[in-house]
Chains A and B, each alone.
Chain A
Amino acid sequence: MTDAKLLTQFNAGQTQAFNILVKRWECPIYNFILRYIGDADEARDLCQKTFIRAYRNLSKLREPDKFTAWIYQIALNTCKDETRRRSHLSFNTLQETDETTLPSTAPITYPDALAHQQSVRDLLNRALQTLPEEQRVVIIMKEYQGLKFTEIADTLKTPVNTIKSRLYYGLSALKKTFDQWHITEDMMRYEL
């Protein structure tokens, strides 16, 4: 059943339809927030907040066909609110974090697949957090969420060409970061 049909059912009073939407979208939204924020526990909390906000505002959604853009907008706004709240609490800048927590440049030997996966996850997380917010969002939406350029443009309310340009500069910046950290494509692969 499509999202639009579930929304129609929800507006007709069937709350269960929203539970199906949550089940369908919890994984994409959680992973989007996780890569944006970088912390699993916080991502779980923000994911819950996103769905609660969505539940409260679902009746205001005028175009059910644009549910994808709408739910990502809510997730992004929830993340931004949290980032804003955190910025009031802490004065640690990203620059300071980068200087003190650069990953080791020595070749890494991985004891098993899980440890390797964890290391890769941490590396990529740190690399993503070095990007400016506007580039990071576009990269996450395209690379991990698989959204189309038009969907990203709808979500961010930004022209499509700007989205493509941010993606280009974001990927280029990531490449520079990986080069600085001496991380190659081969290091990301792991065979049992």
Chain B
Amino acid sequence: MNCEISKEQIVEYLYNDDLWPQDREQLQTHIANCPSCQQTLTELQATSNMLKAWPNESPNLNMVFVEDRQSIIPKTFTRHPWYWASGIAAALATIFALSFLNFEFAYRNGTFHASLGFQSNTPQVTASAEPEPPDEVEEIIYEVTTNDLKTPATQADLLIYQQTTLALAERLIRESEMRQRDDINSTFIHLIRDLEQQRQQDLQQVNRGMNALYTRSVQNYEDLQEQWIQKTPVFVKTEIADTLSTGFRPAVYRK
């Protein structure tokens, strides 16, 4: 172009976009009197028209989105870091306290064995983790606590004291085991219930997705039918109608 009109202005004029009416009039007047601009515009218009010969195509994606679901399993097992930190701290404190008391704990031949002692030459006391009547333990504790503390402790006193402590430790272990078992049972019951709930949610989502797909398929079918009716020449439709009226019927309709 060898005039003052820029290529941007020609494009604005071609698409009639981003142009004020008075500017458009001015451009129109100029182009009417400028052979160079006329030629450019004609060429651009022709190219634009040629591009329009490629019509839009239908993708038929049939995409259906269903809502995100929150996983229940991580929610059950995921805790705040402080939860785990406090648990670990308590466990470490217990281990430290037990090691200070020279506590020994082992599992042999199907039973738990625990021992406790202040002196290395003290004979090791081994006890089975079988349940014992709680009354007996309480009696021992009572006897030990009611002893006169001013009298020097004999070897027998120490032995009684060790046995009492041992019995207490065993009872604590039993209770801890029971509590852990209950906790695990409770967690699994919750987990099973949550999984069942999640399964129900999944089924509902699949159902919703299937319904959406069905609706879309019906709609697509109706659209295609409408397009076919619009595009099919009249004489073809007449022929089909004639064929049907002369008695031809698809086998599926015969009784």
Residues in A with CB closer than 8 Å to B63 are 19, 22, 26, 48, 51
| B65 & A175 in contact (Cβ 8 Å cutoff) | no
A168 at the interface (CB under 8 A from B): yes
List the A side residues contacting B11 at CB < 8 Å: 164-165, 167-168
Known: A164-B7, A164-B11. A139 touches B66 (CB 8 A): no
Which residues in B have their C-beta under 8 angstroms from that of A51?
61, 63, 65
> Would you give the shortest CB distance from B112 to chain A, in whole angstroms?
53
CB 8 Å contact bits of A97-115 with B (1 = contact, 0 = none): 0000000000000000000
A168, B54: Cβ atoms under 8 Å?
Answer: no
Binary contact readout B29-67 vs A (1 if CB under 8 angstroms, 0 otherwise): 000000000000001101111111111111101011111
Q: When the two chains form their complex, are residues A26 and B61 in contact, meaning their CB atoms are under 8 A apart?
A: yes
A167 to B44, CA, bound (A): 10
Cross-chain contact A149 with B54 (CB below 8 angstroms): no
A47-B59, A171-B47, A175-B43 in contact; A15/B17 too (CB < 8 A)?
A: no
A120 within 8 A of B: yes
Of A19, A160, A168, which contacts B7 at CB under 8 A? A168
Docked-complex contact A164 and B12, CB < 8 angstroms: yes
Within 8 Å CB of B43, what residues of A? Answer: 172, 175
User: Beta-carbon contacts of A117-158 to B below 8 Å, as 1s and 0s?
Assistant: 100110011000000000000010011100011100000000
With most chain B CB atoms within 10 A of its CB, the pick from A19, A30, A117, A171 is A171
The total of Cβ contacts below 8 Å across the A-B interface reads: 105
Contact B61 A144 (CB under 8 A): no
- For residue A40, CB closer than 8 A to chain B, the reply is yes
Taking CB atoms, residues of chain B closer than 8 Å to A121 are 54
- CA separation between A34 and B163, bound complex, in Å? 85
CB distance from A49 to the nearest CB of B (A): 11
Judge whether A185 and B46 touch: CB under 8 Å: yes
A178 to B44, CA, bound (A): 12
| Chain A residues positioned under 8 Å from B55 (CB to CB) | 117
Using A15-B66, A171-B44 as known contacts, say yes or no to A44 and B61 having CB atoms under 8 A apart. Answer: yes
**A161 interface hit (Cβ, 8 Å):** yes
Determine if B61 and A149 form an interchain contact, defined as CB atoms under 8 angstroms apart.
no
B17 touches A149 (CB 8 A): yes
B216 at interface by CB-CB < 8 Å: yes
B26 to A: closest C-beta gap in Å: 17
User: Which A residues lie within 8 Å of B53 (CB)?
Assistant: 120, 124, 188-189
Is A71 at the interface (CB under 8 A from chain B)?
Answer: no
Are the CB atoms of B57 and A19 closer together than 8 Å?
no
A31 lies within 8 A of chain B by Cβ: yes
Asked if B54 and A120 make an inter-chain contact with CB atoms under 8 angstroms apart, the answer reads yes
Complex partner residue of A47 from B48, B54, B61, B212, CB under 8 angstroms: B61
User: In the complex the two chains form, is A19's CB within 8 Å of B46's CB?
Assistant: no
Task: Tell me the bound Cα distance from A121 to B44 in angstroms.
Answer: 19
A167 CA / B61 CA spacing, docked (Å): 30
Residue A18, interface by CB 8 Å: yes
Interface residues of A in 28-56 (CB under 8 A from B): 28, 30-31, 34-35, 40, 43-44, 47-48, 51, 55
Task: Using A15-B65, A168-B10, A178-B47 as known contacts, list a sample of 4 further A-B pairs with CB atoms less than 8 Å apart, ordered by residue number in A.
Answer: A143-B52, A167-B11, A169-B7, A183-B50
Task: Give the A-binding residues of B (Cβ under 8 A).
Answer: 7-8, 10-12, 15, 17-18, 43-44, 46-59, 61, 63-67, 212, 216
